[in-house]
Structure 1
Amino acid sequence: MVVGAGVVGAACAHGLARAGLSVAVVDRGPVAGGTTGAGEGNLLVSDKAPGPELDLALLSARLWRELAAETGDLGGERGDLGAGPVEYEAKGGLVVAPDAVALKALRAFAEGQRAAGVAAAEIAAGELGALEPHLAPGLAGGVHYPQDAQVQPARAAAHLLAASGAALVLGEEVVAVLRDASGAVLGVRTARRTLSAPVVVNAAGTWGGQLAALAGVTLPVLPRRGFVLVTEPLPRVVRHKVYAADYVADVASGSAALQSSAVVEGTPAGPVLIGATRERVGFDRSLSTEALRRLAAQATALFPVLGGVRAMRVYHGFRPYLPDHLPAIGPDPRAPGLFHACGHEGAGIGLAPATGALIAAAVTGALPPLDPGPFRPDRAFPEEDHPAAGPGAGSVNLHSVRSREGDAP
């Protein structure tokens, strides 16, 4: 039994089915109705330092590419959009440095990544234009990451679920995790039915801590809100996933305050997607004009051509964040039969296949594809502060945001 029909839950169902098990998936909403549906589909290795998360990302990058090959989803030699069900696009990433100091730090970061198996090629300032003709002049240089890719997240989740053959129970919230007198898991209960299973996989994303609590265990998953700006359709003015080097520090930060670092990418349909912000404001869904101002200012600083472009819409979601920046993957010894697959923050889509492989190995007792130790759900977590309130609401477009005072990030 997998709780959660986002891409991580779908990958767990897929991995378990491939291991020969019958699987059911239950979710209070539709497929990809939570964080997955609010994601950009990033499959990134470029933003991860050497360590357990990068190992997980490299395994997932290989598994995503294998899945795309199986489904006929690999694009052409230039990384064109795949024709298959997950819309795999091997677009590559480009991380740019505004000055010599940032370039030196980026160079050292990339050197460590290369030692861990990442393909990373330094790009001189004069060569950036060949990769991205519309980049702002004056940048000090960058690093190209050809392994960075993208999928359409909702379609990817739907395909993995369909391929798993899992029985779907959608629109039903889990209200109890059933356990016997010894504490072992027996299944779950929704408002409509009881679903019996000897194994329950917590893939509830941002709500993973709440599901864990229903099983009588603690898992400190916190929501970390993020916004994405979507422009009007354009010619393909941005070829790669492009971001400034300070984005890596934002990803690794545990700050509760608003952080923003523009990640800019084109889409096959024409609109440009502009992320990414991070802030811990609970489940506050109000619109933050400050977050959008920062994104617009940073995006147009990278790509001045976007200065006169309209933002057609804004969307946001909540990343499932754990204080030590690693997901919880594997069995919970406090509740036999309970397995966790949550807390991936903004990397869940990229890390999903490897997570599913680890869960399948843990459930069946097979040899895991990498060391699961760092992802133990019962590991010690650092204590964190919690913000009390979120920002206000408003509306925004790229032109008006950019013209206001106080736009600087």
Structure 2
Amino acid sequence: MDVAADVVIVGAGIVGAACARALARAGSRVTVLDRGAAASATSAHGEGNLLVSDKGPGPELELAQVSLGRWAHLADELADELGPRFPSIEHEAKGGLVVVTSADGLDGLRGFADAQRAAGVEAVEVSAERARGLEADLAPGVVGAVYYPQDAQVQPVAAAEALLASARRAGAVVRTGVEVTGPLLGADGRLTGVATSQGDVPAGDVVVAAGPWSAQVAERLGSWIPVRPRRGMVLVTTPMGQRIRHKVYDGDYFAATQSAGAELQTSAVIESTRGGTVLIGSSREQVGFDDRFSAEVLAQMARRAVAVFPFLARTNVMRSYLGFRPYMPDHLPAIGPDPALTGLWFATGHEGAGVGLAPATGDLLAAAMLGLAPAVDPGAYAVDRPGLRNHRPADVSDVQVTGVTPASDTSGGARGEARI
């Protein structure tokens, strides 16, 4: 079989784009496939956060610290490479401010910040007075805060498109409107590409970077990954003169991100954009791919935002949007090879941190695929790590592709047609 690509990446969101750029710039022939438009799903429905403030010590924070440094350099690299006619990724090192309204909340925030500082995070405790020096419109009930100068933001769609444009300049091919329908299998059972709605795409390796849809793609390829969609909503105000200068959120945000419950979780997350609008989040709930808006969820988010910035009660909301985050049961992404199906790799499961973690994810995946030295220990993100094993269905085989009917092709291998 002629191999049209060294690597096929399924998913043209920001994680897939970062993987494509890292691999293409390292010399791999890369093809990116997406059933929709590039950067049109999860990447288009987030806020572009690059955060360390919401991550406790451990593997996710380590990946975020590497990635945050990469973003600072990427903003300049991409601007130089793509030129002034390409839209800016709007990288802004605005800093984050976590506020609390009770003494107990302040004690908890202090303990969390102490642990983060021990792990290398810049976390500066500030008094209520100092917090109002950073954000003049904070509610009177705010009793203290922690300031995170390392927190930043990008425009997520522009950033994803810039990464894809850079990957194209390095030889990558991006094909949209192409849906993966099954695997191509060699005579030895190895994955040798994908069958799609637009024909077969042979490849040396296949990377699933399809965000919350990764479990569906994995099943079509005869594998498994415990990614589930977690719905989130955002309110967008009408444009105004800038009154919010940092990413500001209440102390409940970290608990919401780490919750394993399927029930609704809301917290106040508020920030301005360069266009003058204010983005208000956040919500998290596991309702499958139900894309209906909930007035009660939006109302909860609005109430929590007003409790932090009372002036927002007099501000008009011009629209809202929702998206699905790729949730993993242990709150860590899966980055690396499938343990059972040779030729299959994953870069998924970042939940709400995909934008922030994308550059380091791309680098880590490329290092594993090309035999290079990784920036962080890859073991914590392995697909077969202990934190995921208990979630593996009993009927999923560890040694052969399941749910697939092989069909002979002229290459001497087989095309798998998924029965889903």
| Higher Cα Rg, which structure | 2
Take 1:85 and 1:176, find their aligned partners in 2: how far apart are those partners? 37
Q: Is the CA contact (8 Å cut-off) linking 2:78 and 2:162 kept in structure 1?
A: no
Q: How many Å separate the matches in 2 of 1:201 and 1:121?
A: 39
Query: How does the TM-score come out when normalised to structure 1?
Result: 0.90
Of 298, 322, 338, 1:332 maps to 338
Q: Does 1:240 align with 2:243?
A: no
Is 1:87 the equivalent of 2:93? no
Which residue, out of 14, 20, 35, partners 1:13? 20
Aligned residues: 375
CA distance in structure 2 between the partners assigned to 1:69 and 1:368 by the alignment: 23
Query: Residues of 2 paired with 1:38 and 1:223: CA distance?
Result: 13
Instruction: Tell me how large the CA RMSD over aligned residues is.
Output: 1.3
Partner AA of 2:14 in structure 1: V
Return the offset for 1:239: 0.6
Corresponding residue number in structure 2 for 1:45: 52
Aligned residue in 1 for 2:138: 135
Task: State how far apart, in whole Å, the 2-side matches of 1:268 and 1:278 are.
Answer: 26
Q: Which of 144, 147, 150 is equivalent to 1:144? A: 147
Q: What pairs up with 1:4-403 in 2 under 5 angstroms?
A: 4-72=11-79, 85-165=88-168, 166-380=172-386, 381=388, 382-383=390-391
Give the aligned residue type for 1:285: D
Does the CA-based 8 Å contact 1:49-1:113 persist in structure 2? yes
CA distance in 2, matches of 1:276, 1:349: 16
Residue 182 of structure 1: how far off its partner (Å): 2.3
Task: Give 3-state SS (helix, strand or coil) of 1:194's partner.
Answer: strand
Q: Which runs of 5+ in 2 are unaligned?
A: 1-7, 81-85, 393-420
SS of the residue corresponding to residue 200 of structure 1 reads strand
1-side partners of 2:102 and 2:306: how far apart? 17
Distance in 2, Cα, partners of 1:46 & 1:152: 19
TM-score computed with the length of structure 2 as normaliser: 0.87
Take 2:220 and 2:77, find their aligned partners in 1: how far apart are those partners?
A: 38
- Specify which of 10, 21, 37 is matched with residue 3 of structure 1: 10
Residue pair 2:227, 2:328 contacting (<8 A) in 1 also:
yes
> What is the deviation of 1:85?
2.6
Counterpart CA distance in 1 for 2:198 and 2:38 is 19
Higher alpha-carbon deviation: 91-100 or 375-384: 375-384
* Preserved CA contact (<8 Å) 1:215 1:335: no
1:281-325 deviation line (CA, Å, top 9, x unaligned): 000011111110100000011000101111100100000011111
Q: CA shift at 1:378, angstroms?
A: 2.0
SS for the counterpart of 1:198 is: strand
1:199 is paired with a residue whose SS is strand
* Displacement over 6 Å in runs of 4+: none
C-alpha distance in 1 between matches for 2:187 and 2:114: 53
Q: Secondary structure at the match of 2:41?
A: coil
How far apart, CA to CA, are the structure 1 residues paired with 2:183 and 2:235?
38
| Contact 2:101-2:141 within 8 A present in 1 as well | yes
SS in 2 for 1:197: strand
**Could you tell me the percent identity over the aligned residues?**
55
- Return 5+ residue gaps in structure 1 as ranges: 74-82, 385-409
- 2-structure distance, mates of 1:364, 1:344: 22
CA distance in 2, matches of 1:24, 1:288: 38
Contact 1:68-1:84 at 8 Å conserved across structures: no
